A = this chain, B = another copy of it.
Amino acid sequence: MNQDIIDDYQSEAEIFKSLAHPTRLFIVHAIHDKKLSVKELTEMIGVDISTVSKHLDILKRHKIIVGEKHKNNVFYTLNIPCVLDFMSCANRILNKS
- A33-49, CB under 8 A of B: which get 1 and which 0? 00000000000111100
Q: Report whether B25 and A90 are in contact in the complex, using a CB–CB cutoff of 8 Å.
A: no
Which residues of the other chain, B, contact A79 by a CB distance below 8 angstroms? 93
- By secondary structure, the A interface counts as helix
A46's partner among B2, B21, B93 (CB-CB below 8 A) is B2
Q: Report whether B23 and A20 are in contact in the complex, using a CB–CB cutoff of 8 Å.
A: no
Whether A25 contacts B9 in the complex (CB less than 8 A), given A16-B16, A16-B90, A64-B93, comes out as yes
Interface residues of A (CB under 8 A from B): 1-2, 5-6, 8-17, 19-26, 29, 44-47, 62-64, 79-80, 82-83, 85-87, 89-94, 96-97
